[in-house]
Chain A
Amino acid sequence: MGYTLVYLSLIVLIPLATLVVKTAELSPGELWALATSRRAIASYQVTFGASLVAALVNAAFGTAIAWALVRYRFPGRALVDAIVDVPFALPTAVSGLALTAVFAPTGWIGRWLAPLGIQAVFTPLGITLALIFIGLPFVVRTVQPVLEDLEAEVEEAAAVLGATRWQTLTRIIVPALTPALLTGFALAFARAIGEYGSVVFISGNKQFETEITPLLIMTRLEQFDYAGATALALVMLIVSFAMLLAINGLGAWARRRAGHA
């Protein structure tokens, strides 16, 4: 217990406390002004908007991938299962470079998008794509075990009891998955909010357009504007903390609701 607390303090709590102490050097008025500047607000919009869209997309497609991995035996299944973890393992800067190359107007995918008038690189779309990429494993890896746990027998029971495929899906499968899906969604969302490395290359970092909050913090630091940086950092800290609470709350709710038989 004692060791855990010491460790936790050194690694997590003390740096966070420093952040709070640092912002305390500012008056509340100054803090508010820095945290709600026009540029800051625009960066929040980009960050949270893109993160939300990315997390929603991941919730849908991550579930589909988890479903395929659990329910179907196809050649290369083990490979696909391993590839899901790539965004976890890859240094984010590498992901960023790769995504930029692929979605650039001359890139493998970008060249097909360009004639359609879709530009991914240096737009919020590019940011969203990068956030989808890094958030995918969170949804797959939280939904997968729950799906594995949901025996095929339960679906057979529903069919024998007279349920159509659709009724089985909406009344049995989706409700059973919802808690895990919410958790996966929240994790992907939280990760996306804090993402920096994979986004900076593809976003182009245009002020008021594609500048994400973590990047704005970097910019402030480079300008030796420590107060401005910490004000933004505090906003991020509060949001992350709220997300964490929400995730834990969802987890507890999930355990209560879908209690293991």
Chain B
Amino acid sequence: MTIEVRGLTKHFGAFAALDHVSLDVPGGGLVALLGPSGSGKTTLLRILAGLERPDAGTARIDGVDLASQSARQRNVGLVFQHYALFRHLDVYENIAFALRVRRRPRAEVDARVRELLALIQLETFERRLPAQLSGGQRQRVALARALAARPRVLLLDEPFGALDAQVRAELRGWLRRLHDEIHLTTVFVTHDQDEAFEVADRVVVMNRGRVEQIGSPAEVFEQPANDFVMRFLGHVNVLDAELGDGRARIGEVTLAIGGHNGDTRGRVYIRPHDVELTRTPADGAVAAHVVRVTPLSGGLKVDLAVPAIGSRLRCDLDWKRGTALGLRDGDDVFLSLHRARVFATDHGAAS
């Protein structure tokens, strides 16, 4: 089942929640809508589910215009951030709900519910009420409930947003494996970059009701289309520079840049992992002073003072490199900057 969105626009009063959004989700694909709060990603999902009406534009599932169908008729699966489980019904009846309202035969309902209980690994919890489950278990029940009537597409609205970090990481992996098993066309809303990258095939980066970039996780991370995407996907060093001849001058340092926009002044973006540190001066390297070394889960974060560019920089090192350098607060080191980027349309201070 493919999803096709064309020119979707939605205003709430003067606020443009969606501004001519177009995108495609291929059949069996798993697409993440990634963006800060207020970027319109949830509104887009709610329009697909039939809970909001667009002001303009169309959304189609398998070529059928959704405008002609109410939420009830669309047969989409929707999972909410705060589960929205039916509190007075136990796990079994929550999952069975979509089949009960369709008046399916008892045996069919039972078979389907048992199948789903096995899928979410909660077979022994069928008589529990939602209040007697942990957050992660509730969200799995919500997912099973959404899948019960074999929906055409599955829509997930920040499904792991209310869970703690460890459960969230576990469920991400589980959701990805589940998707590989059932191949249901899925749209997944999140503001968490790691979550989007880990779970989705394609990422739609949204900002202020617009699509900023669509691509695979590697594409949007390695080749951000603009400064918003660059800033939103992980930490980035932003430096004021003089531009010209495919080069940027930042204080006393000159760098080759990609994506020059013809301006004479602008901002240069460098990822922390593109800052290379050495103990001895390499060719073109600049002296820097280690302000602080912070261990992170993936390696070391090093805050550097760089007199030659009159600014501080952040540098991320993996464990191996970090250990080899043996950095301590106050050390003097040398740095080289790689893959400095300039964007044609700079949103300036937008973040």
Interface set of A (CB-CB < 8 Å, partner B): 151, 153-154, 156-164, 167, 171-172, 175-176, 257-261
Contacts and interface: CB of A to CB of B under 8 A. Distances in A.
Given A160-B77, A175-B88, 8 more contacts: A154-B84, A154-B86, A156-B51, A158-B97, A161-B149, A162-B75, A257-B88, A258-B87
B76 interface: yes
A148 to B, nearest CB: 14
Contacts of B50: 159-160
A259 B131 contact: yes
Interface of B: 49-51, 70-72, 74-78, 80, 82-89, 97-98, 100-102, 129-132, 138, 145-146, 148-149
A154 B82 CA distance: 10
A232 B82 CA distance: 54
B72 to A, nearest CB: 5
B138 A261 contact: yes
A176 B70 CA distance: 25
A159 B49 CA distance: 10
Given A258-B87, A261-B87, A261-B138, A162 B82 contact: no
Contacts of B74: 160
Contacts of B101: 158, 161-164, 167, 171
A162 B72 contact: yes
A176 B82 contact: no
A219 B145 CA distance: 63
A171 B75 CA distance: 19
B71 A172 contact: no
B72 A163 contact: yes
Interface centre among A162, A175, A176 (most CB of B within 10 A): A162
Main secondary structure of the interface of A (DSSP, over half): helix
11 contacts: A154-B84, A156-B51, A157-B78, A157-B145, A162-B72, A164-B101, A257-B129, A258-B87, A259-B132, A260-B87, A261-B130
Contacts of A162: 72, 75, 98, 101-102, 149
Contacts of B83: 261
Nearest to A156: B51
Given A160-B71, A171-B101, A176 B88 contact: yes
Contacts of B51: 156, 159-160
Contacts of B85: 154, 157, 261
A159 B98 CA distance: 9
B87 A159 contact: no
Contacts of A163: 72, 97, 101
Contacts of B146: 161
A156 B132 contact: no
A76 to B, nearest CB: 23
A163 B87 CA distance: 17
A164 B100 CA distance: 12
Contacts of A157: 78, 80, 84-86, 145
Nearest to B51: A156
Contacts of A167: 101
Contacts of A175: 88-89
A160 B129 contact: no
A172 B98 contact: no
B148 to A, nearest CB: 8
Contacts of A258: 87-88
Nearest to A149: B87
Nearest to B50: A160
B42 to A, nearest CB: 12
B132 A161 contact: no
B98 A161 contact: yes
Contacts of A158: 86, 97, 101
Q: Name the residue among B49, B86, B146 with the largest chain A CB count within 10 angstroms.
A: B86
A167 B149 CA distance: 16
Contacts of A161: 97-98, 101, 145-146, 148-149
A45 B97 CA distance: 44
| CB-CB nearest 9 A-B residue pairs | A259-B131, A161-B98, A157-B84, A153-B84, A163-B101, A159-B71, A160-B78, A175-B88, A167-B101
Contacts of B80: 153, 156-157
A154 to B, nearest CB: 5
A175 to B, nearest CB: 5
A44 B327 CA distance: 89
B122 to A, nearest CB: 16
Contacts of A159: 50-51, 70-72
